Amino acid sequence: MATPLPRTPGDLREDHAIAAGEQVAAIYAQAEMVLIATAAALARKVASGHMPKSVAAARLIAVARAVFAAARSRVQAAVSAAMTSAGQGAQAATAGGSEMPFPDASGYAQELAYKLDDATGNAFVSLQDAFSAAAGAAAETTAPQLTAGNIFQQVIADAIGSTRGGLPASSLSLSRIQAAQKALDDFAAKGITGFTDRLGRNWDLASYTEMATRTAVSNAWDDMQAQAMIRSGLDLVEIGTYSTEGSCSHCRPWLGKTVSLTGATPGYPTIAQAKASGWMHPNCRCYDAPAGANVMADFTNPVDLADSAAAYAASQRQRALERNVRAAGRQANAAITPAARAKAQRGLAAARQASAAHRGQEGVVMTKVSVQRRERPFGPR
């Protein structure tokens, strides 16, 4: 496996972006767990006849508003701090940066905050749909009339069919609870939807906000640095990396090359062309610096490509295993029957065991931010 090397400006940028993404995702993951547990508890009350569906729905809305409001306050503070630190980091990592007019970071923070607010709005709708599905399953004793197009309505059709919705009254509560559990299981497996991409894939709230924050902070760091150099009359920058993970096929052709930030200098490719070819892709640890600044000691790839590929594959596998842990945790929070709770706990234990086994085998070190665990290859740099 690759050996850690001294941190580059690209490492500083990406490590900061990852930390910001982890912090924001931890806040939303905690909110998601609270809301799934609340929806499950209310669905059980509806199923057992202890609370009308309308009252339970109103209570869930009130809880969701309070939880999301608290999360929003914490997220806005985290985003503002992350963007301010990104500007300071970019300035410190840029040769001559202390003399350059760096842009204000608040605009970048506000743009990201709007995006995360949209995700919260989507999550609120997703939560209501899921609860309506679970409570609807509990309330109906026969298969309900369904409207095509609602993903949760199909879950209800399956739940009612498999729990024999027309059971005698003596078994009615059990039937309703089982139907609600099936709907909640499906909801917990998917998570609260925060974003649907162009391919129609639903991103759960924690995963989407982590990705959105990490990407936005990294891009803001890069953009603030570029804007500061342009304002200072600089146009040519050199591209370099000696990242711990080596250089990918997209980036290797650009290492050591001089490019133009604006295209104003004839005879040089532009940084836009480099990015269009795949350089500075998501999670990329390459960087650029003012041409002639003499800050890049090496433009070669110091890590054997086979080792680099193995390290990357191990880190991606760990990401998948940790997604399984979070999904199992959601299932445990959504359990409202003894059988479902026992099954969920077994699943959670198995997911954690698989994650730990992979870490031990591959030497992948985990960090922990509140309730959100994320992988970090090679340990702290």
H/E stretch holding 14? helix 9-47
Asked whether residue 136 is assigned to any structural domain, the reply reads yes
SS3 115: helix
Asked whether residue 253 is assigned to any structural domain, the reply reads no
For the chain, how long is the longest CA-to-CA vector?
84
Contact by Cβ (8 Å): 99, 153: no
Q: What are phi and psi of 331, to 5 degrees?
A: -60, -40
Contact by Cβ (8 Å): 346, 331: no
| Distance in angstroms (rounded) separating the CA atoms of residues 90 and 138 | 55
SS3 367: strand
Predicted confidence at residue 173, as pLDDT, reads 55
H/E stretch holding 36? helix 9-47
| Distance in angstroms (rounded) separating the CA atoms of residues 136 and 245 | 50
Expressed as residue numbers, the domain containing 137 is: 9-230
Predicted confidence at residue 303, as pLDDT, reads 54
Asked whether residue 124 is assigned to any structural domain, the reply reads yes
Contact by Cβ (8 Å): 337, 176: no
SS3 2: coil
Contact by Cβ (8 Å): 289, 95: yes
Angle at 33 between CA 31 and CA 39, to 5 degrees: 100
DSSP annotation of 347:
H
Predicted confidence at residue 213, as pLDDT, reads 95
Predicted confidence at residue 309, as pLDDT, reads 60
| Distance in angstroms (rounded) separating the CA atoms of residues 236 and 49 | 71
Which DSSP string do the residues of 142-211 spell out, in sequence order? SPPP--TT-HHHHHHHHHHHHTTTT--GGGHHHHHHHHHHHHHHHHHHH--EEEE-TTSPEEEHHHHHHH
Q: What does the pLDDT look like over 219-268, one tens digit per residue? A: 999 999 999 999 999 999 988 765 555 566 788 788 888 999 999 999 99
Q: What is the dihedral of CA 263, 269, 271, 273, to 10 degrees?
A: 110
151-162 helix and 172-190 helix, angle to the nearest 10 degrees:
140
Asked whether residue 96 is assigned to any structural domain, the reply reads yes
Provide the domain count of the chain.
Answer: 1
Enumerate residue ranges in the chain where pLDDT < 50: 1-4, 141-149, 151-153, 155-157, 159-172, 295-299, 367-381
| Distance in angstroms (rounded) separating the CA atoms of residues 220 and 215 | 8
As given in the structure block, the two tokens for residue 58 are 């109103």
Asked whether residue 122 is assigned to any structural domain, the reply reads yes
Asked whether residue 270 is assigned to any structural domain, the reply reads no
H/E stretch holding 64? helix 53-93
CA 86, chain centre distance (Å): 19
Asked whether residue 299 is assigned to any structural domain, the reply reads no
Predicted confidence at residue 141, as pLDDT, reads 39
Asked whether residue 317 is assigned to any structural domain, the reply reads no
Could you tell me which of 123, 24, 39 has the C-alpha nearest to residue 74? 24
Contacts of 20 (CB under 8 A, 6+ apart): 78, 79, 82, 86, 213, 214, 217
Predicted confidence at residue 161, as pLDDT, reads 45
| Distance in angstroms (rounded) separating the CA atoms of residues 223 and 210 | 20
Q: What does the pLDDT look like over 257-273, one tens digit per residue? A: 899 999 999 999 999 99
Contact by Cβ (8 Å): 244, 378: yes
